[in-house]
């Protein structure tokens, strides 16, 4: 009896599913080992400066990942995302310095206020598309900074607010580490859920997603508010760690550039892209700053241009799906060289390899 035409591909499908599941568990195991290692680091005698550096990296991982939720998954490039960072910091600053609340309850309040602001402004602004949304968010960022500057009775204006000088590097190390773990786990869930697939559908073809029954307005507002809440909470923690805030500190233009470059450098719309991009960006910047002095910005900018030219999908994006780039095709070819190498002297090996390639 002749076997069905589809039977040769069945073993390959099983192999593919098993390989995917094994790779997923391997990644989760490596991530768990990495987190455990980071938990142990502070007890290995590292200095406060090292704790500050690492907690800063964790903070930017959270921020770039939250920016990736709205900009990477939906394609709505948010050039004013720093408004939520500044608002969150000022909510905590005002409640601690003027109302007298302890720090802990101000963090969820900052997240809630930032999320409410995102809901109010997101409903009209998310109806804009492309560069119009980006410009509108940039305008909101600049307007909010000026508003904080002139609202002196509440914000103290340019004089700033002084918070209690209770700096605990170890405490904030674990706060930002826990936040980074939670946000990356949330990004993983979004990427592998129906919610995330709907967001990616908006990015690819929003009108087509609407035609297929996807409530794009509700999805965009949900992820926008989620991103704003996370960013506001981080702003609250950073303001308290800094012990002094003013409009120039909490509403920096460099924030807008850094968070976008980190996520893009790592890979937009990926889970690990903001993590890799944040670490690479900060380490490269600090290294060049130490070695190149005043000219480090020129070298740093040139390096980023070259990197983006050869890896437009980002570091993680190129490794995962970079077939459209020369570097991505080279990496993929090297990765699969061993998997397609078979012993041609054995007929069964040749037949098995054909089935696997066909199923892929």
The rounded distance, in Å, linking the Cα atoms of 241 and 93 is 11
Summarised one tens digit per residue, pLDDT across range 74-109 is 999 999 999 999 999 999 999 999 999 999 999 999
Summarised one tens digit per residue, pLDDT across range 126-184 is 999 889 999 999 999 999 999 999 999 999 999 999 998 877 889 999 999 999 999 99
- DSSP per residue, 176-204: HHHHHHHHHHHHHHHHTSHHHHHHHHHHH
pLDDT value at 354 more than 50: no
Rounded to 10°, the helix 48-74/169-191 angle is: 20
pLDDT value at 356 more than 60: no
Burial of 334 (0-12, 13-18, 19+ CB in 10 A): exposed
- DSSP per residue, 81-125: THHHHHHHHHHHHHIIIII---HHHHHHHHHHHHHHHHHHHHHHH
Q: What share of the chain is helix, strand, coil (3-state, %, to 5)?
A: 80, 0, 20
Among residues 254, 259, 234, the alpha carbon closest in space to that of 72 is found at 259
Structure tokens at 147: 């508003």
Summarised one tens digit per residue, pLDDT across range 204-260 is 999 999 989 889 999 999 999 999 999 999 999 999 999 999 999 999 988 988 999
The rounded distance, in Å, linking the Cα atoms of 211 and 206 is 9
- Please name the residues in contact with 249: beta carbons below 8 A apart, sequence gap of 6 or more: 160, 242
Mean model confidence pLDDT for the chain: 84
């Amino acid at each position: 009896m002749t076997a069905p035409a589809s039977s040769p591909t069945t073993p390959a499908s099983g192999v593919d599913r098993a390989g995917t599941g094994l790779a997923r568990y391997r990644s989760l195991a490596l991530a768990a080992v990495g987190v455990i290692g980071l938990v142990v680091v502070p007890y290995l005698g590292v200095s406060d400066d090292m704790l500050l550096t690492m907690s800063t990296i964790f903070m930017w991982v959270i921020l770039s990942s939250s920016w990736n939720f709205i900009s990477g998954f939906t394609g709505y490039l948010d050039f004013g995302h720093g408004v939520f960072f500044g608002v969150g910091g000022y909510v905590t600053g005002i409640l601690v310095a003027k109302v007298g609340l302890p720090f802990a309850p101000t963090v969820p309040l900052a997240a809630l206020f930032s999320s409410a602001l995102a809901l109010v402004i997101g409903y009209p602004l998310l109806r804009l598309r492309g560069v119009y949304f980006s410009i509108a968010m940039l305008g909101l960022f600049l307007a909010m900074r000026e508003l904080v500057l002139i609202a002196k009775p509440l914000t103290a204006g340019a004089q700033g607010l002084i918070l209690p000088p209770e700096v605990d590097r170890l405490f904030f190390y674990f706060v930002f580490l826990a936040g980074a773990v939670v946000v990356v786990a949330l990004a993983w869930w979004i990427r592998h859920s129906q919610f995330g697939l709907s967001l990616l559908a908006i990015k690819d073809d929003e009108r087509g997603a609407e035609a297929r029954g996807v409530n794009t307005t509700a999805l965009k507002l949900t992820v926008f508010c989620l991103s704003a809440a996370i960013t506001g909470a981080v702003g609250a923690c950073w303001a308290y760690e800094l012990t002094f805030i003013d409009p120039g500190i909490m509403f920096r233009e460099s924030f807008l550039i850094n968070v976008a470059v980190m996520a893009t450098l790592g890979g937009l719309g990926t889970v690990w892209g903001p993590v890799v991009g944040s670490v690479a960006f900060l380490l490269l910047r600090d290294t060049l700053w130490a070695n190149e002095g005043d000219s480090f910005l020129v070298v740093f900018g040139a390096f980023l241009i070259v990197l983006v030219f050869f890896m437009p999908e980002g570091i993680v994006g190129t490794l995962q799906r970079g077939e459209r780039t020369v570097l991505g095709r080279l990496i993929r070819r090297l990765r699969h060289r061993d998997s397609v190498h078979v012993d041609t002297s054995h007929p069964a090996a040749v037949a098995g390899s054909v089935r696997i390639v066909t199923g892929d």
